[in-house]
Chains A and B, each alone.
Chain A
Amino acid sequence: MIKKKFFQIVFFNFLFIEKVFAGESGGMPQLNPEFWASQIFWLTITFGILYVVLSKLILPKISANLESRKSQISDNIEAADRQRNESEEKLKEYEDIILKSKAEAKNIFNEAREKALKDINSKNEILDKQINEEIKKAEDEINELKKGAPVKINKIAIEMSSEIIKKLIGADVNNSSISAIVDDLFKKDGEKYYGN
């Protein structure tokens, strides 16, 4: 502020004592009014032309250049954004597909397993039944055989005893008396031999 005022005072002083300065040989050429008109004239001309050409021709072009670059860049950014969104959507779709197919695969696997298990179970049952039947049959047969065995053995024993006696003493022994002895023995020890 002080500087400003100082320069103002200096300037006004120059205005008032300009003649004194101009008179001296070493004065300020700036205060010699000889070429003031020329300077004002040429300043008006050059600055006027500069202003007109800049404002009408050059500055609008620079502004348009800047605008077009800006819009181009923002367009590119927009396009990039759009593409990114698209790709994200696609990625999501793919992920969905993958999840779905995984679930499907699991389902199929589970179904197949269940089916296989069911098959195995049913086959097992059938086999079990068959085996049980066979076992029953075999047991029945064995039982029958067991039931029939003592009688047959008794008979064989009776025949064998009568033959042995015949050979030993040469006499026919009454079959009924031998069978009575065998029956008696069988009743006494049969349990031991047939394990029933």
Chain B
Amino acid sequence: MAANPMTQFEVYRIGPEIKVGAFDISFTNASLFMVVSSLAILIIFNLGSKKNSLLPNKLQLLAELSYTFISKMIGDTAGTKARPYFAFIFSLFMFVLFCNMFGMIPYTFTVTSHIIVTFMLAVFIFVGVTIIGFVKHGFGYLKLFVPSGVPAVLLPLIVIIEIISYLSRPVSLSVRLFANMMAGHTMMKVFGGFVISLGVVGGWLPLSFSVALTGLEILVAFLQAYVFAILTCIYLNDALNLHH
């Protein structure tokens, strides 16, 4: 029972069942960790921005370094036009990062290991970016699918490929994060199970593997949040500065 590595992803209700029409919107363990992550972000950044001293303390330094980090990332990938979307990308990066990191604590639930969560974020980004593109460029935004300097013979094929790749953006974005988180946590669970089943004699090898994997997963947790945010920036860049 405990050896099943998928049980860690199970969602269960905390508290009463809440139903709105046909939809069940009960508070679950997933909701709990969304709330915990958001609250943690808000508390850390609130404390980090409360006092403005010339020599910042650790929390202030953390908040300001994060701010400049995201700001630089957006500036590098999407330019100055992406300034109004800074707050969104900052929240997105922090939310994904904190959800990933909270998932690394034993007995917690990883919000981002659920495809529905990452898919909703990705779809929101996709729809938002598409709307921004059409608002900024009108139907000229469709030029995104027609790269310049392509022979006329190849053009129909290229356009079809471009459209498919554009439409698969939300899928690739969401699956990348979800699959990474799920695979990592499953692996850790599997190695954890090996430790138990091999016991004191043979359990050391999978245990050391588990330790190494934990380090790797922390890296992945950060990296995937970063990739998620930077891909959002790149999509935004496509919508803001049409340069195909």
Interface set, chain B 53-82, CB cutoff 8 A to A: 54, 60, 63-64, 67-68
The count of chain B contact residues (Cβ–Cβ below 8 Å) is 56
- Interchain CA distance A126-B237 in the complex, whole Å: 105
Question: Does the CB pair B24–A38 fall under 8 Å?
Answer: yes
Interface set, chain A 12-69, CB cutoff 8 A to B: 14, 26-32, 34-44, 46-47, 49-51, 53-55, 57-59, 61-66, 68-69
Which stretch in A3-11, A79-87, A100-108, A147-155 binds the other chain?
A3-11
Residues of A within 8 A of B168 (CB): 8
Chain B min CB distance to A37 (Å): 4
Chain A min CB distance to B2 (Å): 13
Is A122's beta carbon under 8 Å from chain B? no
Interface centre among A7, A35, A53, A61 (most CB of B within 10 A): A35
With A29-B11, A50-B41 given, is the CB distance from A62 to B91 under 8 Å? no
Is B113's beta carbon under 8 Å from chain A? yes
- Interchain CA distance A181-B30 in the complex, whole Å: 170
Question: Does the CB pair A4–B87 fall under 8 Å?
Answer: no
Which stretch in B135-143, B171-179, B218-226 binds the other chain?
B171-179
Question: Does the CB pair B30–A49 fall under 8 Å?
Answer: no
Interface string of A86-110 (1 = CB under 8 A from B): 0000000000000000000000000
Question: Does the CB pair B63–A41 fall under 8 Å?
Answer: no
Question: Does the CB pair B25–A42 fall under 8 Å?
Answer: yes
Complex partner residue of A42 from B30, B45, B48, CB under 8 angstroms: B30
- Interchain CA distance A46-B37 in the complex, whole Å: 9
- Interchain CA distance A29-B160 in the complex, whole Å: 35
Complex partner residue of B54 from A44, A47, A49, A72, CB under 8 angstroms: A72
Residues of B within 8 A of A32 (CB): 11
- Interchain CA distance A39-B117 in the complex, whole Å: 7
A55 nearest in chain B by CB position = B87
A14 nearest in chain B by CB position = B115
Is B95's beta carbon under 8 Å from chain A? yes
Is B214's beta carbon under 8 Å from chain A? no
- Interchain CA distance A29-B38 in the complex, whole Å: 24
Chain B min CB distance to A145 (Å): 108
Complex partner residue of A37 from B23, B37, B52, B111, CB under 8 angstroms: B23
Residues of A within 8 A of B111 (CB): 43
With A39-B28, A40-B116, A55-B91 given, is the CB distance from A29 to B23 under 8 Å? no
Interface centre among A34, A37, A50, A55 (most CB of B within 10 A): A50
- Interchain CA distance A65-B63 in the complex, whole Å: 11
Chain B min CB distance to A47 (Å): 6
Beyond known contacts A28-B6, A38-B30, A39-B116: 10 more, CB 8 A cutoff = A8-B171, A27-B6, A30-B9, A38-B26, A38-B28, A42-B25, A50-B38, A51-B88, A57-B46, A65-B49
Shortest beta-carbon contacts, A-B, top 8: A55-B87, A42-B31, A37-B23, A61-B49, A46-B34, A41-B25, A65-B52, A35-B11
